[in-house]
């Protein structure tokens, strides 16, 4: 078996704003396996500035993995605890190599084109006019759930925008999630959550910065708006540490980004622990290319979640990998008649 890696720079159609800054490009790293004329490909979805494995030796570690691919998937996975995106890239690549179709790693009604996955429409930060335009577009496209990034512009402006949506669309017509990416100050976060809760929102992701367990626990207990942990899960490796986090903070939801938490094995452990603690979850992508998004989507479908998932990011780029994924009426579908084109 041979292995090599490739790097591809994805370019955003529109610069996309979060509370951490403006995104214009995104690196995609691929592990490609070859064995007896067959090939498999997996994506390591490391995200600069956020992933725990955004570190100087990331590419060196990829080189080591490819040079030692003979050690096998499990041995390599176990050695890469501190590189969760590479763990996921390996998982996908080995599943891809073993599959009759390298892009159908979890065959199901989804990959047959017989079923779809409900997803949220993503609304990026910007001025009021820009955000309003995005919302109108998503509603016209048939989304029943939208997720708004907040925390980068004036809170009163964001609140006004949310109020204007609610005046036009009730909670039964459109479900709204908001994501603060840790932007709120713990001192006034509860007051902001109370104001947001008046708008019949579904939940808020990561209202305050990570590693403030006591403050986050207090908010989860007192907030009238349900809280979902997201970035908080990054860098929490052992089951003991995961259990400690969930039992201390007691969130209503956790959000699983497989690229950040050790791929599908890591996601499985979080799901098992969250269910044992009566905590709900959903899965989102981390701005991967269609290779990673496809694998995450197929895995997600097997979990039978009834919540809208965060898997609508494939259309963000001008130069994504041509794939069988498509969005129809607020759902993600797999069209098995469409051809993949992985020629980088």
Overall size of the chain counted in residues: 344
Cβ atoms of 174 and 145 within 8 Å: the answer is: yes
Q: 204 Cβ partners below 8 Å, 6+ apart?
A: 177, 178, 179, 180, 193, 196, 223, 225, 226, 227, 228
Coil, helix or strand at residue 42 = strand
DSSP assignment letter at 184 = S
Residue 95 a catalytic site member: no
Q: 77 Cβ partners below 8 Å, 6+ apart?
A: 87, 90, 91, 265
Of the candidates 26, 147, 242, 257, the residue annotated as catalytic is 257
C-alpha span between 239 and 211 (Å, rounded): 17
Of the candidates 138, 147, 149, 192, the residue annotated as catalytic is 149
Residue 257 a catalytic site member: yes
Q: Tokens for 296, please give them.
A: 């995450």
Residue 310's closest CA among 178, 169, 187, 193?
Answer: 178
Q: For 21, list phi and psi in degrees, rounded to 5.
A: 130, -175
Which residue has 């009834």 as its token pair? 306
Q: For 82, list phi and psi in degrees, rounded to 5.
A: -85, 5
Question: Which residues are catalytically annotated?
Answer: 149, 257
């Amino acid at each position: 078996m041979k292995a090599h890696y490739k790097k591809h720079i994805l370019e955003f159609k529109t610069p996309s704003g979060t509370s951490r800054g403006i995104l214009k490009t995104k690196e995609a790293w691929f592990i490609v396996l070859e064995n007896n004329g067959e090939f498999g490909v997996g994506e390591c979805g490391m995200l600069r500035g956020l992933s725990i494995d955004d570190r100087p030796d990331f590419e060196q570690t990829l080189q080591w993995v490819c040079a030692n691919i003979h050690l096998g998937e499990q041995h390599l996975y176990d050695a890469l605890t501190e590189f969760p995106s590479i763990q996921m890239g390996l998982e996908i690549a080995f599943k891809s190599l073993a599959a009759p179709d390298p892009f159908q790693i979890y065959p199901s009604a989804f990959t047959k084109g017989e079923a779809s996955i409900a997803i949220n429409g993503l609304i990026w930060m910007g001025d009021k006019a820009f955000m309003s335009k995005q919302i109108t577009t998503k509603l016209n496209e048939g989304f029943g759930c939208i997720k708004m990034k907040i925390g980068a512009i004036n809170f009163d402006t964001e609140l006004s925008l949310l109020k204007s949506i609610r005046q036009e669309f009730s909670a039964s017509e459109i479900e709204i999630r908001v994501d603060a990416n840790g932007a709120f100050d713990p001192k006034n976060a509860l007051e902001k959550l109370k104001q947001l809760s008046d708008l019949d929102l579904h939940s808020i992701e990561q209202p305050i910065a990570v590693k403030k367990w006591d403050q986050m626990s207090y908010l989860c207990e007192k907030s009238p708006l349900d809280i979902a942990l997201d970035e908080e899960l990054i860098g929490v490796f052992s089951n003991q540490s995961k259990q400690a986090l969930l039992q201390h903070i007691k969130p209503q939801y956790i959000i699983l980004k497989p690229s950040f938490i050790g791929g599908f094995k890591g996601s499985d452990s979080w799901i098992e622990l969250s269910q044992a603690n009566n905590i709900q979850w959903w899965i989102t992508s981390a701005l991967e290319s269609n290779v990673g998004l496809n694998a995450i989507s197929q895995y997600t479908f097997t979990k039978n979640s009834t919540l809208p998932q965060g898997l609508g990011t494939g259309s963000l780029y001008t130069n994504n990998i041509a794939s069988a994924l498509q969005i129809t009426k607020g759902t993600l579908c797999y069209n098995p008649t469409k051809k993949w084109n992985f020629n980088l």
